[in-house]
Amino acid sequence: MKVSTLIGSLALGALPSVNAAPGSQFERDSAAVAAEIIRRALPNAPNGYTPTNVTCPSTRPTIRSAAKLSTNETSWLEVRRNKTITPMKEFFNHVTVGDFDVGAYIDKHSANVSNLPNIAIAASGGGYRAMLNGAGGIKAFDSRVKNATASGHLGGLLQSATYVAGLSGGSWLVGSIFINNFTSVADLQTYSSGEPWQLGNNIFEGPDTGGLQVLDTAEYYTDLAEAYEDKKKAGFATSLTDVWGRALAFQMFNASKGGIDYTWSSIAKTQDFIDGNYPMPLVVADSRTTGEIIASSYSTVFEFNPWEFGTFDPTLYAFAPLEYLGSRFENGSIASNETCVRGYDNAGFVIGTSATLFNEVITELGTNSSGITAWAENILTDLFADFDSSDDDIASYDPNPFYGYNDDSLASTTGLDVVDGGEDGQNVPLHPLIQPERAVDIIFAIDSSADTDYYWPNGTSLVATYERSLNVTGIGNGTAFPAIPDQNTFINLGLNTRPTFFGCNSTNITGTAPIVVYLANAPYSSQSNTSTYQMTYEDWQRDNIITNGYEVVTRGNGTLDGNFTACVGCAILSRSFERTGTTLPDICTQCFTDYCWNGTTNSTTPNTYAPVDILASSQAGLFITPTALTAFAAVTAAFFAMV
């Protein structure tokens, strides 16, 4: 028996239908919903979740070399970079850099916007913990949020940015913001029942729409199973990620049936994006062949941008048109007797692809741990019975758009397996932001990784990206990255307990690399180190972690260091000042002394890392400046090493 048939009798479809009279409140509400959907212009898949054959455009889609950015991106950048000028000036109205007139500087160079700062934001993986901690950072950077443009805050940085990248849990955050029409985190927190970010319901229960939960859950599982089956019946390979991505979409997207007909490529068709009114979203994933163990030294890193899916890595060094994934590309083109396919790049499937690590959660359901009923567990068991456990964490992209494109092993198979972007150790999605073609000046890297025993980050992701960049003639492919110390040094010197800048002195870097502002998850006002596999969050816990994330990136809204926002301003302007031959203001010298890693290391094995609440310590008179903190941490580590 089909799964959809098995649970169909339990679905809401068995309930009496509603016959609405013309002009009724029901009809008016429906019209309002339809108007909202039209305004957003995102649900453009031709047949819901199912990829569908369509007539190819007159210029047939092809695979292109990654030797340069796409014409779509370069054209968009001309618009977007100019659109960042006004918000950047507004940002520096409340983020002052000593007595330097940043507004006048921006005006002076506005005719050649490439001289001005090019800003990017990256949100790491780490499940809901990463989504919520990253959300706190994005909220702090958003000028639309109440008080975010007050003194000591960083509101407007998001509006000044060119790129926002997400990976795994960070991709859920990026997807929530951009698929929901570039909404704010504040709005995502205040949606009502049945809408996004209602995390009190376990993802295996489905959304609470205000009715009986057992009926809500029945309809939810019907939707998941039917989408999966319809794609399979259409002749496309399926994987656990199809179900996981659909489930995520119900929690992340404010649309009927979890935005079943929303595609990632449709972002590029929204008018606000076309007009350059907000940054470009990027989602990161890795390649992996069956049975392969990924290592950062040779993994191929893929990105999804609004127009394309592909990689700058020398393995494939190619990009495919995202809107036409699912078409049968061979040797870089679609045969004249083949039709094109649209709808493959379902938005839920894209963010699910970046987070395939969580597929294993689906396969380990139990009524005691998941909170779902036994019949729902049986449905999933039946649905996934034919999957090989060794492929649980794979998203299947079949047909492989790069088949036959070159002689790399990834182009030699008809299907392409893609996995969680953090499986190669690079849990912060820095890869697309350090490509020389994008000329990014500064990356605000929000790290919510669980590197330590108690789920705190220790710089592992930055170490992996740095080590990868050292392979200059191989997988590094000409990318450069600031020098990064080992993980023990991060803990011993406290580099993960406060914002730390890497790459301040560009003369120490071989090649062109951005400054990286490392913003590690730390307990400012909340113990935000929840398990990566915690699947349920009540609103109070969700909001506490978001608030903590806000405080991480602002140093407690400036209460721990009144000069911190000025130091952020110095870091933003630094590369731009180099290009224009402008001398850094005096305040920046002290800022870089306080916040830039100066090359000191302490690789002794630290004690178990279990930090206390930073703001509470500060209020108790225990706060010390970043320079003193580094010295104190080094002395303390040396003492314990002797003991």
Arithmetic mean of pLDDT, 222-239: 93
* Confidence tier at 485 by pLDDT (50, 70, 90): very high
pLDDT tens-digit series, residues 73-90: 999 999 999 999 999 999
Asked if 414 and 401 count as a contact pair (C-beta separation under 8 A), the reply is no
Q: Identify the CATH class of 3-14+87-642.
A: alpha beta
Q: Does an H or E element contain 189, and which?
A: helix 185-190
Q: Is 641 left (phi over 0), alpha (psi -120 to 50) or beta?
A: alpha
Is the pLDDT score of 34 beyond 90?
Answer: no
Virtual CA dihedral for 269, 273, 274, 277, nearest 10 degrees?
Answer: 160
User: For 380-425, how does the pLDDT look when each residue is reduced to its tens digit (9 = 90+)?
Assistant: 666 666 565 556 678 999 999 999 999 999 999 999 999 999 999 9
Residue 317 has a CB neighbour count (10 Å cut-off) of: 18
Predicted confidence (pLDDT) per residue in 410-421, tens digit: 999 999 999 999
State phi, psi for 321 to the nearest 5 degrees. Answer: -65, 120
Q: What is the pLDDT of residues 591-621, one digit of tens each?
A: 999 999 999 999 999 999 999 999 987 665 4
**Higher pLDDT, residue 191 or 318:** 318
Band of pLDDT at residue 208, cut at 50, 70 and 90 = confident
| Number of C-beta neighbours around residue 375 at 10 A | 15
Q: Encode pLDDT of 165-183 as tens digits.
A: 999 999 999 999 999 999 9
Give the pLDDT confidence score for residue 37 in this predicted structure.
38
The string of pLDDT tens digits covering residues 277-288 is 999 999 999 998
Query: Identity (one letter) of the amino acid at 26?
Result: F
Domain ranges of the chain: 3-14+87-642
pLDDT for residue 605? 96
Q: Which residue, 202, 68, 239, is CA-closest to 128? A: 202
- pTM of the complete model beyond 0.95: no
User: Is pLDDT of 215 > 80?
Assistant: no
pLDDT of residue 638: 45
Q: What is the pLDDT of residue 367?
A: 38
For residues 542-555, average pLDDT: 98
Report, as an integer, the average pLDDT of 470-484: 90
Task: Give how far Cα 579 sits from Cα of 88, 196, 439, 575, 582, Å.
Answer: 18, 43, 12, 6, 8
Q: Indicate whether 9 pLDDT > 80.
A: no
Radius of gyration (C-alpha) of the chain in whole angstroms: 24
For residue 331, report the phi and psi dihedrals to the nearest 5 degrees. Answer: 55, 30
Give the residue with greater pLDDT, 523 vs 366.
Answer: 523
User: pLDDT by residue (tens digit) across 505-531?
Assistant: 998 888 899 999 999 999 999 999 999
Please state the rounded mean pLDDT for residues 246-261.
Answer: 94
Structural contact between residues 540 and 532, judged by C-beta atoms closer than 8 angstroms: no
Tens of pLDDT, residue by residue over 147-168, are: 999 999 999 999 999 999 999 9
Can you give the three-state secondary structure of 437-470, one letter per residue?
HHCCCEEEEEECCCCCCCCCCCCHHHHHHHHHHC
